[in-house]
Each structure stands twice: as structure tokens, then as C-alpha cells.
Amino acid sequence: MANPKIRVLLVNDSYYPKYDGPVLVISSYAKHFNTMPDIEADIAVPHVPNYKDTESTKVIRVKSRPTKEGYYQGKPRKDKYLREHLKNTKYDIIHCHAPFPMCRFFAKYGKKHGIPTPVNQTLYLALRIAEKIRN
């Protein structure tokens, strides 16, 4: 009997149609993981109106609201579809890529359900935060 696939959920607070470092990272991770016979990766990101995902990777779009910076802030606590998806899909690892609402929600979710949930941030994000603090 073959071992079941390892289920990985990659989480970020931005994704296409925005294009930045973290978007490229999680997109690349998902594509690479999904070429491996023993790993299956999905992506969870905020919903962007009028945008349709065209990748082969499963993208779970979460309720969101626009920000003044032109991004969409995920509102995972208010998303019934996401709750249903998480109830029916068991992830082995949740990998978060920024310390914002989507990742805070999934870090708590992972802890509550005993799922390893590493959280990292990019150098770009650290530089943006430092810039905001200085100004």
C-alpha cells in the first residue's frame, strides 16, 4: 500500500494579479511540490474581484476587503467556504509567508489542530516595515 500524499497549504496575504517576491515564492513552491509524487500543495490567499486563477495548483480564495495600498486583506474568520474546506481537507503542514491576517489566522488554526505551521517573512517586508517605522 502506498503512503498517502503529504498535504501542504501555502498561505500568503497577496497573490496574483499582484506580482511580488512572496507571490513568486509560493507559486514556485506549489508548482514544484505538485510535481513530486508524494506531496500535494494548495494555496490560500485573499479573493481579488474580477480575477480568475489560471494555474494548475488549487487556489483557495478567501473573503477579503480592499486596502488603500491596492491589495486585498483576507478575512478568513468570516469565510464559510474556507471553514467548510478546512473541515473536509486535512493538511499536514501549513506554511505561512507573512505576519498579516491570513497567516495569523492559519498560525492559530495550525496550533489548535496540531499542524506544524512555520511562518517566515521576506527581506522586502522587513525593509518596508523598517521604512514605515523611521518615517
Q: How far is CA 53 from the centre of its chain?
A: 14
Whether residue 14 lies inside any domain: the answer is yes
Q: Note the pLDDT of residue 2.
A: 64
**Grid coordinates of 80:** 464559510
Q: Note the pLDDT of residue 125.
A: 57
CATH assignment of the domain containing 116: 3.40.50.2000
**Rounded average pLDDT per 10-residue block, the chain, 135 residues:** 85 89 89 95 96 93 91 92 95 88 92 92 61 65
Whether residue 1 lies inside any domain: the answer is no
Q: What global pTM score does this model have?
A: 0.86
Q: How many domains does the chain have?
A: 1
Residue corresponding to grid cell 527581506: 123
The domain in which residue 53 lies consists of 6-134
**Closest CA relative to residue 97, chosen from 51, 45, 35:** 45
Q: Enumerate residues 6+ apart whose C-beta is below 8 A from 79.
A: 62, 63
Sign of the four-CA dihedral 70, 75, 81, 84? positive
